[in-house]
Amino acid sequence: MTRLLVLSFLFPALAQASALKAVTYKTVKCELTHGDKVVKAVESTMMPLVIEENIGRFIQLQLGDQKLKIQYQLLLEDDLKNAGNIIVLQNLLVGKNEVSAEFSASELKWVRTVGQDYSVKCEIFK
């Protein structure tokens, strides 16, 4: 009886954990391009992030130099309104100009955002 009681308490948590898709994505390979030229390439691990009652993944990359500040942010979180989808939030800051994008997708392989003559494309891996 004790085992059954313990399982009944654990089952909702286990069911929710198995439904989380955003946390399965762990690493990114990103390229900053200016025009058609790749200026910088980086590979990094995304960090887990608690968002209210949800768990997601986040990364912030500094891609500029001392002359020009270029910062890229990527947030992945489960879409609670569309079961099985992931919300993707991107933010690209080039100097003082900022571009943001948000969309929902069922699977991710890569994301891309453009600001001025710069763009960031990231491949996303589980």
Structure tokens at 4: 């059954």
Domain that holds residue 27: 2-125
> Exposed, middle or buried: residue 56 (CB in 10 Å: 0-12, 13-18, 19+)?
buried
The number of domains in the chain is 1
pTM exceeding 0.85 = no
Query: For 40-68, what is each residue's pLDDT tens digit?
Result: 999 999 999 998 878 899 999 999 999 99
Mean pLDDT of the chain: 86
Give the full edge-to-edge strand order of the sheet including 70-78: 47-51, 54-62, 70-78, 86-94, 97-105
Q: Token pair 């085992």 is at which residue?
A: 3
Name which of 107, 113, 112, 100 is nearest 125 in CA terms.
107
